[in-house]
Structure 1
Amino acid sequence: MEKHVKRTSKENSEAESSKRKREGSIVWQHFEKTNDRKKAICTYCGKMLKTAGNTTNLTDHLKRIHPNRLTAEKLPVSTKLDAFLLRDVQYPADSKRKKELDKHVMRMIALDVQPFSIVNDTGFRALMHKMDPRYKLPSKTYLRDVSLLKVYESLKGQLQSALECVEYVAITTDGWTSKTNESYLTITCHFINTEFQLNSAVLSTSTLLTSTNHTAANIADSIRVVLTEWGLMGKVVSIVTDNDSTMKKACELLEVKHFPCFAHTVNLLVQDVLKLEILGPILTK
């Protein structure tokens, strides 16, 4: 009986050892051993590497030169050692996890009004690597030219759906001129939604149709283009602007009631009062 138990135990041990050898490392899916079995040749670039009895050098080569060939999403991790060595392999650009994290980075930049260049900051990059070593931050160019446009189109669609259910809206607008004499105009829409909640949303911030033309007609045409794009031309009941005569004339051309900005009116009043002769001695003192 004792001999039978020892023999069975030995057979099980040999079977387990044989199984481990058969499993091997997934690295060998990308390398071929030389005849002396001391080196391995990369099947992608032909580079010959020493194995030194383990696959550390081989894994490091794949991570640096062929990162897309060694991903947990495509290849099964057969051993705990492989899992440890693969901890820094980056997510593929088309992976669900990468896209989700890119979206959250873009959202953080928008909500906190951060510059796109934050992705190049040493501290932020170190933080993100500590949180998830496999995540590679996108470039500021990608965020600006790709991610931002996707977020804008998504939010624009949501706002358009909300405005379709609104019967009346009010508009506030103001303009400013850059150092190059280009005029910009921001148009903000205010409305009460179906749940009787007051909402405000910026519809556009852009140059005038003719950027160096500051006439009332050019301002009116620029506002009309934005309102038409959003399907609001027939829903606007009032436009609030400053007391500039050009803005007032633009509202007349649009045939929409004009309301002067209360804060701007108070500011003009204070400025006029400060110019009174009776206040001269007091201001001097």
Structure 2
Amino acid sequence: MRSHLSAKHAKEVPTEKDAAQPAITNFTSRPRRCDDRRAGDITALITNMIVKDMLPISFVEGGGFLELMASVEPDYRVPGRTTMTKQIEKLYKDKAEDLHRSLSTVSKVSITTDGWTALTTESYVTITCHYIDSEWEMKSAVLQTCAMPERHTAENLAEGLRSATKSWGILEKVTACVHDNASNVTLANNEYLDRDSSPCYAHTLQLAINDGFKLKPIHHIVAGASRLVSHFHHSTVATQALCQKQVDQTQPDHRLIQYCRTRWNSIYDMFDRLLEQRWSSVGAALGCCCGSVGPKCHNAVRR
């Protein structure tokens, strides 16, 4: 282009000063402006992160987070807890409206329910809905988790289930309710709500297997193994001895697993880990200075 201009348009050839092009760094180093639209997108992403990762709302006022945002987006003003609370409430409202529309298009649904107690000894009941949408895809959604301070009688549970399903417009669409084997929730569905009551298969299997574990020979072995694992979980001296034995015997650096009574497969995990660490755990239990706990640990090893 410069040769053409010199040959055909000599009088119009730009001077060196005019022809100089801006350096690429003049564009790449220019700070990006955080306008209202971008600020709204960032706020929406932070709201979604708090909800998805179940973070406390005070997270937005943490010093580390504020330093991060100041470096990533200096012009962005991080909202306070009050603003984030409103954003979360708006997000809930939007999601609830979407779920209402989705449930209005289906003819049949099933629900699952269970009661549980928080660490603060507060009682809650959770209800989950399951259905197949128009695209023949299985969908699940938690309808509510509500506090239930009153007694968990069949009548009270039935009223809670009726109120929840009615508020979501699916009272007449529920074909079955899956729950544990508690008599109160079974009676609530069969007698008060007049619908199919379906005990949870996994919970039924759990109860059957727990009965099998009550056999004396099995109970004796499981209890001894559990005491051995418990000893390592409660003694820092024993834990350090186990770590040293793992190094000496080139064993994997794995912690022993304690079984949970409500998860029958955790017994398998406990014995599988003990089998892997059998020499390390036995050597550590017999060789560490356990104080008053030592004899219990030694008895568990011998058993």
**TM-score band w.r.t. shorter chain:** 0.5 to 0.7
Of structures 1 and 2, the one with the larger relative CO (CA 8 A, separation 6+) is 2
Distance 2:43 2:83 in 1: 10
Shift of 1:150: 0.1
Distance 2:147 2:90 in 1: 22
- Whichever structure has more helix as a proportion of its residues is 2
Structure 2 letter corresponding to 1:267: Q
* Distance change in 2, residues 1:279/1:133 (3 Å): closer
Shift of 1:111: 2.1
1:230 to 168, 186, 192: 168
2:109 to 169, 175, 182: 169
Shift of 1:122: 2.2
User: Equivalent residue for 2:205?
Assistant: 266
| Conservation of the 8 A alpha-carbon contact between 1:172 and 1:240 | yes
Structure 1 letter corresponding to 2:212: V
| Conservation of the 8 A alpha-carbon contact between 1:183 and 1:214 | no
Shift of 1:279: 3.5
* Distance change in 2, residues 1:260/1:125 (3 Å): same
| Conservation of the 8 A alpha-carbon contact between 1:237 and 1:256 | yes
Distance 1:281 1:177 in 2: 31
Shift of 1:139: 1.6
| Conservation of the 8 A alpha-carbon contact between 2:34 and 2:73 | no
Shift of 1:264: 1.1
Shift of 1:163: 0.6
Q: Which of the pair has more CA radius of gyration?
A: 1
* Distance change in 2, residues 1:282/1:167 (3 Å): same
Q: How does 1:219-258 map to 2 (within 5 A)?
A: 219-252=157-190, 253-258=192-197
Shift of 1:221: 0.2
Shift of 1:181: 5.3
Q: CA offsets per residue over residues 218-256 of structure 1, 9 Å max, x none? A: 011011111000000000011110111111011111111
**Is 1:108 the counterpart of 2:46 in the alignment?**
no
**Is 1:204 the counterpart of 2:148 in the alignment?**
no
SS in structure 2 opposite 1:204? strand
User: Equivalent residue for 2:124?
Assistant: 184
Distance 1:279 1:194 in 2: 50
2:62 to 121, 134, 137: 121
SS in structure 2 opposite 1:127? helix
Shift of 1:199: 0.4
Structure 2 letter corresponding to 1:140: R
User: Equivalent residue for 2:75?
Assistant: 134
Q: How does 1:18-29 map to 2 (within 5 A)?
A: none
SS in structure 2 opposite 1:187? strand
User: Equivalent residue for 1:19?
Assistant: none
User: Equivalent residue for 1:159?
Assistant: 99
Structure 1 letter corresponding to 2:161: I
Structure 2 letter corresponding to 1:240: V
Q: CA offsets per residue over residues 175-212 of structure 1, 9 Å max, x none? A: 1134665431110000000000000000001123xx22
Shift of 1:156: 0.6
What's the RMSD between the two structures over aligned residues?
A: 2.5
Structure 1 letter corresponding to 2:101: S
Shift of 1:282: 4.6
Distance 2:121 2:63 in 1: 37
| Conservation of the 8 A alpha-carbon contact between 2:116 and 2:124 | yes
Larger mean CA deviation between 150-159 and 259-268 belongs to 259-268
Structure 2 letter corresponding to 1:196: W
Distance 1:179 1:281 in 2: 31
TM-score normalized by the length of structure 1: 0.62
Unaligned 5+ segments in structure 2 are 1-29, 225-302
Shift of 1:277: 3.5
Distance 2:146 2:171 in 1: 18
* Distance change in 2, residues 1:129/1:226 (3 Å): same
Distance 2:87 2:146 in 1: 20
Shift of 1:96: 3.9
Shift of 1:90: 8.8
Q: CA offsets per residue over residues 22-45 of structure 1, 9 Å max, x none? A: xxxxxxxxxxxxxxxxxxxxxxxx
How many residue pairs get aligned? The number is 195
Unaligned 5+ segments in structure 1 are 1-83
Structure 2 letter corresponding to 1:110: V
